[in-house]
Amino acid sequence: MRLTGTDRPIEGDPVRSLPSDPRFETDAGEPALRWGILAPGGIAAAFVRSLRHTVQRPVAVGSRSLDRAQRFAAEHGIESAYGSYRELVEDPEVDVVYVAAPHSEHRELGLLAIAAGKHVLIEKPMATTAEDVRLLAAAAAEAGVFLMEAMWSRYLPQAAVLRAVLREGLLGDPVTVVADHGQLIPFDPNGRLYRPELAGGAVLDLGVYAVQFDSMVFGAPRALTAVGTGTGTGVDATATLVLDHGEGRQSTLTTSLAAASPSRAFIAGSQARIETGELFYTPTTLTLSGPELDEPVRWVDDSGRDGHLGLSWQATALASFVASGLRESPLHTLAETAEIAGTMAEAIRQIAPA
């Protein structure tokens, strides 16, 4: 078990540390891409604010409402504002389009940006079915552009540490993942997450983080059992997914729109386990525990980019990948994105939310 000689200090003990991952070093030297923001809602604002910590440049914003686009542009110091998505994706000053519209529009708007020859970052979930992710992937390959889901957790510094811990076998053989993501989204039949036609529900919006966390460790499940409750508006309010990964490996993922939970995740293995702090999908802490360790080893994100400022890492990763000539994320491939969409679709099918 290698716990020294690496580059991330831990709390309380200057000698030991958790390993890091060279791929985490993607935040210096990558080119400054020019970003077009498609749909100026809350997550778009958080993303643009996060870019101030990088060399990435938001240069244009497009909305169905020109007024809304202009207000967003003024607030965030963005040069161009458009009253249609088509004008945005066709702006020759834009290198990459960030699709931040509701889930239900991701496929069509992704295809629109791809058709315009732009690289594309699509908010999670990229699409609501595996088939739609594959459709987007095929279109991007055909157009020769880069396509990636905005699964920002995969690009946080802690994700690099987690990958290194797994790669170096510090946990022994991983046995189980338990991950939870619950938020209290007050009931509103007109709210985005309560509307089936906007692809609302807990699984697609919140549970997706837990599914991708599990997928990072074990890949796609061999079998899935999902149990949940409905909101009364046709989407899932609460869900538990039990994933069979074969050879006795079983993971459990919980998600809810009905209550705010600590939203932790852990991976337990035959030799040790690693646990995140609260809100595991944001920049947080990691704690490695096991019988071979006198005390738990702790890693703390000291990047200074807390909460949604952590959205910045996916942008710098994308710029780095594009500069390397890649067409998809090596840390979250399009095939894996499709598998995760398939797992979520099957979970929702089993829950059959009313």
Q: For residue 326, give both structure tokens.
A: 């890649």
- Binding of a copy of itself by 277 (CB under 8 A): no
- Using the rule CB under 8 A, is 336 a contact of a copy of itself? no
* 54-152-140-63 Cα dihedral, nearest 10 degrees: -70
Least distance in angstroms from the C-beta of 274 to a copy of itself:
10
Give the range of 32-40, 76-84, 223-231, 333-341 binding a copy of itself by CB under 8 A.
223-231
Q: Which sign does the torsion angle of CA 137, 143, 149, 155 carry?
A: positive
CA 164 to chain centre: 19
174-182 and 147-149 beta bridge pairing: unpaired
Q: Tell whether residue 319 is a contact of a copy of itself (CB under 8 A).
A: no
Q: How far is the CB of 56 from a copy of itself (least distance, A)?
A: 33
Examine residue 34 and tell whether it contacts a copy of itself (CB under 8 A). Answer: no
Which position among 104, 252, 285, 303 is part of the footprint of a copy of itself (CB under 8 A)?
252
Per 3-state DSSP, the chain is made up of helix, strand and coil in percentages (nearest 5) of: 35, 25, 40
Beta carbon nearer to a copy of itself, 73 or 286: 286
* Site membership for a copy of itself, residue 237 (CB under 8 A): yes
Instruction: Write the binding mask 141 to 180 for a copy of itself: x where contact by CB under 8 A, - elsewhere.
Output: ----------------------------------xx-x-x
Q: How many residues bind a copy of itself (CB under 8 A)?
A: 36
Report the candidate in 59, 121, 51, 76 with the shortest Cα–Cα distance to residue 305. 51
The secondary structure of residue 51, as a DSSP letter, is H
| Stretch in the footprint of a copy of itself (CB under 8 A) among 89-97, 109-117, 222-230, 315-323 | 222-230
Does 261 participate in binding a copy of itself (rule CB under 8 A)?
yes
Closest-CA residue to 117 (of 147, 85, 144, 136): 144
Q: Of 289, 300, 308, 333, which lies in the binding site for a copy of itself, with binding defined by CB under 8 A? A: 289
**Nearest to a copy of itself of 229, 303 (CB atom):** 229
Residue-wise DSSP of 307-320: GGGGGHHHHHHHHH
To a copy of itself, the closest distance from the beta carbon of 223 in angstroms equals 9
Near a copy of itself by CB under 8 A, which window of 8-16, 119-127, 235-243, 329-337? 235-243
Q: β-pairing, 34-38 with 8-10? A: unpaired
Q: Which single residue is written with the structure tokens 């910590």? A: 53
Among 275, 285, 308, 335, binds a copy of itself (CB under 8 A): 275
CB of 245 to a copy of itself, least distance (A): 10
Structure tokens at 114: 């791809």
Q: Which DSSP state fits 101?
A: S
Is residue 1 at the binding interface for a copy of itself, with CB under 8 A as the rule?
Answer: no
CB atoms inside a 10 Å sphere around CB 248: 9
Instruction: State the distance between the two ends of the chain, measured CA to CA, in whole angstroms.
Output: 49
Query: Does the footprint of a copy of itself cover residue 13 (CB under 8 A)?
Result: no
Q: What angle do CA 204, 205, 207 make, to 5 degrees?
A: 70
Question: Contact at 8 Å (CB) between 40 and 67?
Answer: no
| Residues at the interface with a copy of itself (CB under 8 A) | 175-176, 178, 180, 182, 184, 225, 227-229, 237-238, 240, 242, 244, 248-250, 252, 254, 256, 258-262, 264, 266, 268-270, 273, 275, 289-291
